[in-house]
Amino acid sequence: LTKKVHDLVIAEPGVTQIKRLTVRKSGSVYFASIELGIAEANIVEAHKQIDRLVEKLHKAIVELESVTIHYEPDHPPYQTTVELLDADRKTLSRRFGTTPWLHIIKRNPDGSLISDTLIENTSKDAPRGKAFLLAAWLISQHADTVIMGQADLDENIIALFRSLGMTLRQVQSEQALQ
């Protein structure tokens, strides 16, 4: 039965790993306790996904009385902040996709610095879709916070960041926060 639960859980889209799986019998019924990693960063969507998984397990295994699932989103244990900078490498850019420089700051949960890197935004030279290429790159880097100057930004990018739990801060001040 443990293998059946394992196979059903790992087949669920978005489940990236099973950290712990225990199935125990009490009388004629079974109880499952599962700890897993999921790819979903948005907590509301993650809960919906877990609810669907619990329902799927109950339907597939009738004698399964109770399922307890603890999950953790797949996210690095550190916080990543990316400042979008102008050509002078100091001023917060008002241009999202065409910003020349990206200042990437990674910090441990206690606030201590892991890395502080300045890189060129390679998306700025793309013939089309600069903003979406940069957004995809920021997502792939697990950026938690993106800081830039005040600008009109595509509402789809704002909605995408929000759905992934990313924070977009538009700052009036021209100087980078560092």
Residues 94 and 167 in one domain: yes
Residue type for 24, please? Answer: R
Residues 58 and 95 placed together within one structural domain of the fold: no
The pLDDT value recorded for residue 57 is: 95
What pLDDT is recorded for position 172?
82
Q: In this predicted structure, what is the pLDDT of residue 26?
A: 93
**Domain-ending residue, one of 73, 95, 125:** 73
Residues 6+ apart with CB under 8 A from 95: 84, 151
Q: What's the pLDDT at 110?
A: 87
Query: Tell me, what's the pLDDT at 42?
Result: 63
Domain count, the chain: 2
Within the chain, which residues score under 50 in pLDDT?
none
pLDDT at residue 73 in the model: 73
pTM over 0.75: no
Domain termination site, one of 26, 45, 73? 73
DSSP bridge pairs for 92: 85
Domain enclosing residue 122, as ranges? 79-171
